[in-house]
């Protein structure tokens, strides 16, 4: 998601990013707001623009409230991504304490409702002091939008905040993944009801919202299952201990023979005493010209990559794997290679343990 969004600033040290689709939706929003609420105004476009800006500010405040409570409780927030349909606070992981998750989830909608009420309360004195029906209407709409944003997010269905609130409440009785499953079922039921409602009233927007809720729930369940299964896993549980190393002094031509025999795509490289030096891949070897293969040695083409350790958590290993640019990494203990692990190994092990 970070790739398709633009950083527009940061508050409380949290980067705020605008999703590309937001920019595309911007003119559409300005038009819809203008035509829907200020069709007779000479300033239709200006009001449309101000309302769009207001909606954007409201969503930002909502997300900032989530992030602020998260940060205060030591839950790191990677960034806030603003989408046309709302915002997403990207957490690096799920907080372990359900009470913290509950507070984090609730504070967003409550902030929206509070902001909405303040706008509505401002509408009245504005009317008394300088009468302008358009200014008053602007405040009433801003108030209503923010209250709607708050209430809609309280729906007990993922990906809304209410889904999270429901899960944390269930998590006090059930294991986290079971709680997620139940919360997703409730969300799916709500999505089905909204869809039927939309179908009967021929409201395409309602039907789309229903689908959005349904898919969001399934996605949350999938992510939680993987996260939950991986949480307690260590590298040593997932690694493959049958690992063929290659000596640094070996000629490339000999390495190719070794490759034909064992058919791996990466070999840890060791010195004569068996100590880890780096890795050599099929790609490194195949890039050596045919006439040089007898002259060059493995150590001439190998690269050093930081290996994993057996006691490292699978979660950290996944991060290291994705940062390394390799699809597998050696596991090293006391300088010696004891295994090799891929992302697939980790996920398969998690699935087996969770079966
Ligand atoms: Zn929220």
How far, in Å, is the centroid of ligand 1 from the Cα of 160? 7
pLDDT at position 355, please? 63
How far, in Å, is the centroid of ligand 1 from the Cα of 109? 6
How far, in Å, is the centroid of ligand 1 from the Cα of 58? 11
Domain at 235-353, CATH homologous superfamily: CBS-domain (3.10.580.10)
Find the mean pLDDT for residues 31-53.
85
pLDDT at position 95, please? 63
How far, in Å, is the centroid of ligand 1 from the Cα of 207? 21
User: Smallest Cα–Cα separation from 326: which of 303, 347, 309, 349?
Assistant: 303
pLDDT band for position 94 (cuts 50, 70, 90): low
Reply yes or no on whether 63 is catalytic: yes
How far, in Å, is the centroid of ligand 1 from the Cα of 172? 21
- Tens-place pLDDT, residues 217-259: 888 888 787 777 787 889 999 999 999 999 999 999 988 988 8
Q: How far apart are the C-alpha atoms of 103 and 73, rounded to whole Å? A: 10
Residue 234: phi and psi, rounded to 5, are -115, 160
Q: How far apart are the C-alpha atoms of 306 and 308, rounded to whole Å? A: 7
* Cis status of the peptide bond prior to 159, with omega within 30 of 0: yes
Find the mean pLDDT for residues 56-79.
85
Find the mean pLDDT for residues 162-167.
91
Facing residues of 5 across strands?
19
How far, in Å, is the centroid of ligand 1 from the Cα of 91? 12
User: Smallest Cα–Cα separation from 104: which of 152, 73, 66?
Assistant: 66
- Tens-place pLDDT, residues 122-145: 887 877 776 777 888 888 999 999
Name the least confident of 29-43, 49-63, 269-283. 29-43
Q: How far apart are the C-alpha atoms of 194 and 204, rounded to whole Å? A: 11
With tokens 């890039």, the residue in question is: 287
DSSP string, 246-281: EETT-BHHHHHHHHHHH--SEEEEE-TT-BEEEEEE
The single residue of 42, 63, 221, 333 carrying the catalytic annotation is 63
Per domain, the residue ranges of the chain are 2-230, 235-353
- The percent of residues above 70 in pLDDT, for the chain, comes to 95
């Amino acid at each position: 998601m970070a790739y398709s969004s633009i950083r527009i600033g940061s508050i409380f040290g949290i980067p705020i990013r605008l999703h590309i689709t937001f920019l595309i939706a911007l003119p559409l929003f300005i038009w819809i707001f203008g035509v829907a609420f200020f069709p007779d105004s000479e300033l239709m476009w200006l009001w449309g623009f101000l309302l769009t800006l207001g909606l954007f500010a409201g969503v930002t405040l909502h997300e900032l409230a989530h992030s602020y409570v998260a940060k205060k409780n030591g839950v790191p927030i990677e960034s806030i991504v603003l989408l046309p349909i709302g915002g997403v606070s990207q957490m690096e992981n799920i907080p372990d304490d359900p009470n913290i998750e509950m507070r984090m989830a609730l504070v967003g909608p409550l902030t929206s409702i509070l902001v909405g009420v303040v706008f509505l309360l401002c509408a009245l004195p504005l009317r008394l002091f300088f009468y302008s029906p358009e200014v008053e209407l602007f405040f009433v709409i801003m108030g209503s939008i923010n209250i709607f944003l708050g209430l809609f997010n309280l729906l007990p269905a993922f990906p809304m905040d209410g889904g999270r609130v429901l899960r944390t409440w269930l998590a006090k009785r059930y294991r986290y993944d079971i709680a997620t499953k139940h919360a997703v079922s409730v969300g799916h039921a709500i999505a089905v009801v909204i869809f039927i409602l939309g179908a009967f009233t021929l409201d395409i927007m309602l039907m789309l919202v229903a689908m959005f809720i349904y898919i969001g729930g399934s996605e949350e369940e999938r992510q939680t299952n993987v996260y939950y299964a991986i949480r307690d896993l260590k590298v040593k549980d997932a690694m493959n201990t049958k690992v063929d190393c290659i000596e640094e002094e070996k000629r490339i031509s000999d390495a190719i023979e070794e490759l034909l025999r064992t058919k791996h795509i990466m070999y840890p490289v060791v010195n004569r005493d068996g100590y880890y030096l780096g890795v050599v891949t099929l790609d490194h070897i195949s890039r050596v010209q045919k006439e040089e293969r007898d002259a060059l040695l493995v150590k001439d083409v190998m690269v050093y990559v930081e290996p994993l350790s057996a006691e490292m958590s699978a979660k950290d290993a996944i991060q290291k794997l994705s940062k390394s640019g390799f699809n597998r990494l050696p596991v090293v203990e006391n300088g010696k290679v004891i295994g090799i692990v891929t992302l697939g190994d980790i996920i398969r092990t998690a699935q087996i343990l969770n079966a």
